A and B are shown apart, each in its own frame.
Chain A
Amino acid sequence: MKADVETRPVSASAAAKARGDVLLSVDNVSLSFGGVRALRDVSFDIRKGEIRAIIGPNGAGKTSMLNVINGFYHPQGGIITFKGKRRHDMRPYLAASQGIARTFQNVALFRGMSTLDNIMTGRTLKMRRGILAQAIYWGASQREEIRHRKAVEHIIDFLEIKHIRKTPVGKLPYGLQKRVELGRALATEPELLLLDEPMAGMNLEEKQDMSRFILTVRDTFDTTIALIEHDMGVVMDLSDRIVVLDYGRKIADGTPGEVQRNQAVIDAYLGIPH
Chain B
Amino acid sequence: MILFGQVLEVLIGGLLSGVLYSLVALGFVLIFKASGVFNFAQGAMVLLAGLALVRSLDFLAARGIPVWAAVMLGLLFAAVIMAITAWLVERFVLGPLVNQDGLTLFMSTIGATFVLEGASQMIFGSDVYPLRLFPNDAWFLFESVFPGGILVNKLDVWGGLIAGALVAGLAVFFQRTKTGRALRAVADDHAAAQSVGIPISWIWFVVWLAAGLVALVAATVWGTKLGVQFSITFLALKALPVLIIGGFTSVPGAIVGGLIVGAGEKLAEVYLGPHIGGGIEYWFAYVLALAVLLVRPQGLFGERLIERI
Interface residues of A (CB under 8 A from B): 70, 72, 91-93, 95-97, 101-102, 104, 108-113, 117, 120-122, 124-125, 127, 129, 131, 134-135, 137, 145, 170, 184-185, 187-188
Q: B189 contacts which of A96, A109, A124, A145 (Cβ < 8 Å)?
A: A109
Smallest distance from the beta carbon of A16 to chain B beta carbons, Å? 33
Closest 5 CB pairs of A and B: A96-B197, A92-B194, A134-B177, A108-B192, A110-B188
User: How many angstroms from the CA of A178 to the CA of B196 in the assembled complex?
Assistant: 15
Contact A188 B185 (CB under 8 A): no
Stretch with Cβ within 8 A of A (4 or more), from B16-24, B63-71, B198-206, B234-242: B198-206
Smallest distance from the beta carbon of B141 to chain A beta carbons, Å? 36
12 contacts between A and B (CB under 8 A): A91-B199, A92-B191, A93-B199, A95-B195, A104-B195, A109-B192, A112-B303, A121-B181, A121-B182, A131-B206, A185-B196, A188-B196
With A112-B188, A113-B181, A134-B180 given, name 4 new contacts (CB 8 A).
A72-B194, A91-B199, A124-B181, A187-B196
Check if B178 is an interface residue, CB within 8 A of chain A: yes
With A109-B189, A170-B306 in contact, is A188–B197 under 8 Å at CB? Answer: yes
Contact B179 A131 (CB under 8 A): yes
User: How many angstroms from the CA of A108 to the CA of B190 in the assembled complex?
Assistant: 9
User: How many angstroms from the CA of A170 to the CA of B189 in the assembled complex?
Assistant: 13
Smallest distance from the beta carbon of B104 to chain A beta carbons, Å? 17
**Binding site secondary structure of chain B:** helix
With A108-B191, A135-B173 in contact, is A184–B178 under 8 Å at CB? Answer: no
Contact B188 A109 (CB under 8 A): yes
Of the listed residues B176, B178, B182, the one surrounded by the most CB atoms of chain A closer than 10 A to its CB is B178
Please count the residue pairs between chain A and chain B whose beta carbons lie under 8 angstroms apart in the complex: 96
Smallest distance from the beta carbon of B78 to chain A beta carbons, Å? 20
Q: B176 contacts which of A104, A108, A137 (Cβ < 8 Å)?
A: A137
Closest residue of chain A to B176 (Cβ to Cβ) is: A137
Check if B154 is an interface residue, CB within 8 A of chain A: no
Smallest distance from the beta carbon of A105 to chain B beta carbons, Å? 11
Closest residue of chain A to B33 (Cβ to Cβ) is: A112
Smallest distance from the beta carbon of A194 to chain B beta carbons, Å? 9
Q: A102 contacts which of B99, B185, B195 (Cβ < 8 Å)?
A: B195
User: How many angstroms from the CA of A134 to the CA of B197 in the assembled complex?
Assistant: 18
Task: Specify which chain A residues have a CB less than 8 angstroms from the CB of B197 in the assembled complex.
Answer: 93, 96-97, 124-125, 188
Closest residue of chain B to A72 (Cβ to Cβ) is: B191
Closest residue of chain B to A108 (Cβ to Cβ) is: B192
Of the listed residues B184, B189, B196, the one surrounded by the most CB atoms of chain A closer than 10 A to its CB is B196
Task: Specify which chain B residues have a CB less than 8 angstroms from the CB of A110 in the assembled complex.
Answer: 184-185, 188-189, 192-193
Query: 1/0 contact trace for B72-89 toward A, CB 8 Å?
Result: 000000000000000000
Contact A70 B195 (CB under 8 A): yes
Task: Specify which chain B residues have a CB less than 8 angstroms from the CB of A102 in the assembled complex.
Answer: 195
